[in-house]
Chains A and B, each alone.
Chain A
């Protein structure tokens, strides 16, 4: 079973078409990974599906880095 971190990173790699070594925790989707605003919307959609959750728009806007995505999913997944 993969960890949340691994699953989040895998989605980022698939959605943004970036290399694994680029997906550092502090990497910003738009500034470092070349995502445009629509890419980030799609990324959130993919996260919602992978983790079977709904991310409200005001939360989605704060998910701008790899670490922010991991933190959000970790905080909102069933424990």
Chain B
């Protein structure tokens, strides 16, 4: 009997990278995982790798009413949601001087506003159960800042304040809200960096390597486990020592 057996988990942005590693880690602990992707193709890829332990669904988190519809569908098909991992995120990097309103809005809407909506949509079910786990995936740059990423850093820093506020609101109902802030992890998002950018980043990481998606998933798996019931409003930094809060 695994510790998450019988629990329903939602992981956004689960088709690849960190989201996929999280989905696989939760399945390994016995949860049924609904993973989301922005395309039908991504959703079916999730269904393929999860097999009978989960399902991939298409969700565009910025679509009007899309989140409420999605949560209602999951609850209808699989039951009340026990675990929500807000992992979906995008970057639209640009120097502030050149940053378009769209580049700002897209990042804030996907990385921050969607988290608000998803949390709100699962709240009633978790409060009624007197049990629930929410994990928001932040980023080291939400703490340190990063030139060219004012939009992304603002969203990720905002996520931490959001996490702490919601944690205080609902701690008395047995629902915990935490964040995991990855450093530089080996995913498609960091693979798009230039060699020069990577070298400069390596120089700032005491562990002298990129992190693995599984190393983020391990922190998430801890936070959703029964043993973490008394941890809330916390941010776990997983960054090879790159930034020590």
Complex Cα–Cα for A38 and B172 (A): 9
Kindly state the separation between the CA atoms of A42 and B172 in the bound complex, as whole angstroms. 12
Main secondary structure of the interface of A (DSSP, over half): helix
Query: Which of B124, B128, B170 meets A38, CB within 8 Å?
Result: B170
Does A45 belong to the interface (CB within 8 Å)?
yes
SS class of chain B's interface: helix, strand, loop or mixed? helix
Total cross-chain contacts (CB, 8 A): 8
B127 neighbours in A (Cβ, 8 Å): 42, 45
**Assembled-state Cα–Cα distance A42/B123 (Å):** 11
Number of A interface residues at 8 Å Cβ cutoff, please give it. 3
The complex places the Cα of A45 from the Cα of B169 at a distance, in Å, of: 16
Chain B neighbourhood of A45, CB < 8 A: 124, 127-128
B78 cross-chain contacts in A, Cβ below 8 A: none
The docked-state distance in angstroms from the alpha carbon of A31 to that of B194 is: 61
Is B173's beta carbon under 8 Å from chain A? yes
Chain B min CB distance to A46 (Å): 9
- B94-135 CB mask vs A (1 if < 8 Å, else 0) is 000000000000000000000000000000100110000000
B-side interface residues, number (CB < 8 Å): 7
Residue-by-residue, is A23-60 near B (CB-CB < 8 Å gives 1, otherwise 0)?
00000000000000010001001000000000000000
Question: What is the distance, in angstroms, from B80's C-beta to the closest C-beta of chain A?
Answer: 13
- List A62-77 residues whose CB lies under 8 Å from chain B: none
Q: In chain B, what residue has the closest Cβ to A42? A: B127
Q: Which residues of A contact B172 (CB under 8 A)?
A: 38
Task: Fill in one digit per residue for B168-199: 1 if any A CB lies within 8 Å of its CB, else 0.
Answer: 01101100000000000000000000000000
A4–B170 Cα gap in the complex (Å)? Answer: 30
Which residues of chain B (121-159) have a CB below 8 Å from chain A?
124, 127-128
Shortest Cβ gap from B9 to chain A (Å): 23
Q: Which residue of A lies closest to B124 (CB)?
A: A45
Closest residue of chain B to A46 (Cβ to Cβ) is B128
The smallest beta-carbon distance between A43 and chain B, in angstroms, is 12
Complex Cα gap A42–B124 (Å): 8
Chain A hits for B128, CB < 8 A: 45
How far does the alpha carbon of A45 sit from the alpha carbon of B124 in the complex, in Å? 8
In the assembly, what is the distance between CA of A38 and CA of B170, in Å?
8
Nearest-neighbour CB distance to chain B for A15, whole angstroms, equals: 11
| Closest beta carbon of chain B to A34's beta carbon, Å | 13
Closest 4 CB pairs of A and B: A45-B124, A42-B127, A38-B169, A38-B172
If A38-B172, A45-B124, A45-B127 are given as contacts, then 4 extra A-B residue pairs at C-beta distance below 8 Å, sorted by A number, are A38-B169, A38-B173, A42-B127, A45-B128
Sampled A-B contacts (7; CB under 8 Å) = A38-B169, A38-B170, A38-B173, A42-B127, A45-B124, A45-B127, A45-B128
